[in-house]
Amino acid sequence: MKQKTKQAARKRFQFTGTGKVTRRAVKQAHFNSRATGSETRQKRTARFVHPTDLGRITDLVPYPN
């Protein structure tokens, strides 16, 4: 039986062609007008998920494509 994908996790993570997983930067939702310019620019870039968390994410998103 196929495993269902957690839709909340699917919306939060993107999978690259080489198998890496990217995520958005934290603290990006609101109150960004208080942040400095360098903080705002750093929040725009996607981050890679740490390898120790990959197992949990692949359980939530078993079929990444």
CATH number at residue 32: 4.10.410.60
Sheet holding 14-15, edge to edge: 14-15, 21-23, 47-48
Domain assignment of residue 14, yes or no: yes
Range(s) of the domain holding residue 26: 7-60
d(CA 24, CA 54): 15
The dihedral formed by the CA atoms of 57, 61, 63 and 64, expressed in degrees to the nearest 10: -70
1 domain-assigned: no
How high is the pLDDT of residue 29? 86
Q: What is the pLDDT along the chain (65 residues), one digit of tens a residue?
A: 999 999 999 999 999 999 899 999 998 888 889 999 999 999 999 999 999 999 999 999 999 87
Q: Which of 8, 43, 42 is nearest to 29 (CA)?
A: 43
Domains identified in the chain, total number: 1
What pLDDT score was predicted for residue 14?
95
Give domain status of residue 12, yes or no.
Answer: yes
Asked if residue 39 belongs to a domain, the reply is: yes
